[in-house]
Amino acid sequence: MSELGLASRREADEWISRGWVWVDGQRVTELGTRVTPDQHITVDPAATSRQAEQVTVVLHKPIGYVSGQAEDGYEPAVVLVTERNHWRGDTSGRRFRPEHLRGLAPAGRLDIDSVGLLVLTQDGRIAKQLIGQDSEVEKEYLVRVQYEAAGAHPGPLPEVFPAADLERLNHGLSLDGKPLLPAKVWWQNEDQLRFVLREGKKRQIRRMCEAVGLKVVGLKRVRIGRVVLGDLPPGQWRYLGPDERF
């Protein structure tokens, strides 16, 4: 059921236990029941109705908040998801309810020193789409940098930074002994790079930049798939719209 995108694994277990799943017209209540590719799975409307009630939140995370569990005295970003911080420009039509916080978890990381688009969701299907092992959803970042060698060569960074190192940022670097997937990296302006990645290793962009002599002084995620940060103010959030897809 998870592979077909019908439900997350946790949801599938719950639906089966509740008797909400049929295979070729026969109700299935035993977890781990094997299904062949030619068999047809159907689910009770009650299951899809419950699934439709799950929410996904788009948050503009400021500096000083961690993505997941609280650590080293820093609060998790989910504490910002309150009625007071709900963006007035939200066009989803949803109104905040306390139950929307139940099981709301980050679908991906954004480190404490970074800002921008963070997704939190109750929907296991979206979490799998964004952070699953086979995810190919693009993440886009604006990265302000300093070049360690620029002091000896004053001028705009795109002019003094070696073209070969820019090529390495696009493809050719490794982290933790494993080659990185090809990226898209180009100069946005004289001291800012734009990164588009299809993976998200811990502090990946900062470590990539360090490998070519660049120091990251500001990092902002502006897009995940087809969902953009847009005009969402720092510290505020909105619901993912019914017609939005990553």
The whole-number pLDDT of residue 153 equals: 61
User: Which residues, at least 6 apart from 22, have a Cβ–Cβ distance to it below 8 Å?
Assistant: 28, 41, 42, 43
Taking the domains of the chain in order of start, what are their residue ranges?
A: 9-51, 54-136+227-239, 139-224
User: Which residues, at least 6 apart from 16, have a Cβ–Cβ distance to it below 8 Å?
Assistant: 28, 29, 30, 31, 33
Q: Report the C-alpha gap between 18 and 1 in whole angstroms.
A: 15
The whole-number pLDDT of residue 1 equals: 75
User: Is position 123 annotated as part of the catalytic site?
Assistant: no
Q: Report the C-alpha gap between 6 and 65 in whole angstroms.
A: 33
Burial 204-227 (b: 16+ CB within 10 A, else e): bbbebbebbebebeebbbebbbeb
The whole-number pLDDT of residue 185 equals: 98
Classify domain 139-224 at the CATH topology level: Pseudouridine synthase (3.30.2350)
The whole-number pLDDT of residue 42 equals: 84
Per-residue pLDDT of the chain (246 residues; tens, 9 = 90+): 777 777 777 777 777 877 888 888 888 888 888 888 888 888 777 666 665 678 999 999 999 999 988 778 899 999 999 999 999 999 999 999 999 998 899 999 999 999 999 999 998 888 888 988 778 899 999 999 999 876 656 678 999 999 999 999 999 999 999 999 999 999 999 999 999 999 988 899 999 999 999 999 999 999 999 999 999 999 999 999 989 999
The whole-number pLDDT of residue 204 equals: 96
The whole-number pLDDT of residue 47 equals: 66
State the catalytic residue, choosing from 13, 111, 165, 191: 111
CATH 3.30.70.580 fits 54-136+227-239, yes or no: yes
